[in-house]
Amino acid sequence: MNNRVVITGLGVVAPNGVGVPAFGDAIKKGISGIRYSDQLAALNFSCQIAGKPEVPEALQQQYFEELELKHLNSSGILYGVIAGMQAWADAGLPLPQADSPDWNSGTVFGAGTSGVDKYREAIYKVDELQVRRLGSTVVPQTMASGISAFLSGKLGLGNQVTTNSSACATGAESLLLAYDRIRQGYATRMLAGSTSDGGPYVWGGFDAMKVCTFKYNNLPAAGSRPMSASASGIVPGSGAGALLVESLHSALQRKATIYAEVLGGNVNSGGHRNGGTMTAPNPAAVQRCIEDALRYAGIQGADIDLINGHLTATGKDAEEVRNWCIALGRRGMDFPYLNALKSMIGHCLSASGSIELVATALQLKEGFIFPNVNCEDLHPEISALVDVSRIPQQLIYKDINIAAKASFGFGDVNACVILKKYLPS
């Protein structure tokens, strides 16, 4: 089978906005969710700023029972469940009946880690010979598939329920896995997305690797600077993004709102060859990933109107832009519009791709290009490749027909998704 696949629901828990309306407004206005962290400062982190969603207790109570919240100690599960259930509701889907699962609906919801704080709590209890006081919630909160298991229970999902994990490529990969299942007729609808725990026990390793900025602790909103000559490293973040994808036939039958059509995409790996390492991408693999994504989607490089890049505010940004130029065969004024969301939310690790896909779908649906903030000093290696007008620093209202979203992760793994504005025939 070769079903057409569309996005009919969005959900997001981001540092600069929880829920699609707040998030959409923030990215249009260039509002940052990066703040100074007293906790990171007290722990002597070099980078003392972070992007962490603000989720009021009242909002948490809309999605979790009081007893669940009492024992829940996983920010990733909290963020992911809220984003996932938002996307389900946004798609106009009812909550399931109690007597039977929904055999036609499933989820691929990714995570890099799960319940790191809960792990820490468990380790202390074990070391103190209090293993029987661990309680019954440790395993579901710390198993890798905890997030998809929670969502399955909340939504009564009876189709495939799984969790993928591919570092920063997790969110984009989850959408492609869900897309394939619907395209082949194995499911009618799938909840795709990814989430990331936050806090010092997740971010500490990145600070130790010296990939985080330390120069903007007194100017948090200016700290994440993708494509900037003064970029000095990532700002760590956390959150979750979710997209409800379903067959076009089902969406039309339900008269659902359609945000965008998923044309296809590609995932691959550089195999730690040709300059690729655990922490750096193989440029040939990145180019091939993009080229094959275009081929599988049935389009040409000239068809791309907008790229939402991975662009982390490290020394690899210029290389990423160069790879796009080679893969698309475009540069200068001919290059597509390009923007980077991490300037407003930081690098949300395994959640980054799904949050950025929500932003990409919104741009297609509403016809706008969000601004690149903190990019007033465009890196000279990038300006030599792409005309500055293609990297807008102000909000542009413009119809976008086809957008590419790519994510490149630790382990030399790559993912590229092609989305198209849906136009009824």
Instruction: Give the residue extent of every domain in the chain.
Output: 5-254, 264-420
Contacts (Cβ under 8 Å, ≥6 apart) of 94: none
Contacts of 384 (CB under 8 A, 6+ apart): none
The model's pTM: 0.96
Rounded distance between C-alpha atoms, residue 51 and residue 412, angstroms: 24
The CATH homologous superfamily for domain 5-254 is Thiolase/Chalcone synthase (3.40.47.10)
Distance CA 8, CA 6 (A): 6
Length in residues, the chain: 425
Instruction: Specify whether the CB–CB gap between 164 and 175 falls below 8 A.
Output: no
Of 26, 191, 24, the residue nearest 96 (C-alpha): 191
pLDDT in tens, the chain (425 residues): 799 999 999 999 999 999 999 999 999 999 999 999 999 999 999 999 999 999 999 999 999 999 899 888 879 999 999 999 999 999 999 988 778 999 999 999 999 988 888 767 777 667 666 776 667 777 877 888 999 999 999 999 999 999 999 999 999 999 999 999 999 999 999 999 999 999 999 999 999 999 999 999 999 999 999 999 999 999 999 999 999 999 999 999 999 999 999 999 999 999 999 999 999 999 999 999 999 999 999 999 999 999 999 999 999 999 999 999 999 999 999 999 999 999 999 999 999 999 999 999 999 999 999 999 999 999 999 999 999 999 999 999 999 999 999 999 999 999 999 999 999 87
Instruction: Give the whole-angstrom CA distance, residue 290 versus residue 76.
Output: 29
Identify the DSSP state of 347. B
Are 348 and 237 in contact by the 8 Å Cβ rule? The answer is yes
Helix (H) and strand (E) counts in the chain: 16, 15
Give the per-residue pLDDT at 71: 83
Domain boundaries 264-420, corresponding CATH code: 3.40.47.10
Q: What is the Rg, in whole angstroms, of the alpha carbon atoms belonging to the chain?
A: 20
Long-range contacts formed by 33-36: CB under 8 A, 24+ apart: 33/237, 33/344, 33/345, 33/346, 34/220, 34/221, 34/223, 34/224, 34/235, 34/237, 34/344, 34/345, 34/346, 35/220, 36/217, 36/218, 36/220
Fold equal for 5-254 and 264-420: yes
How confident is the model at residue 255, as a pLDDT? 97
Task: Give the integer Cα–Cα distance in Å for 176 and 251.
Answer: 18
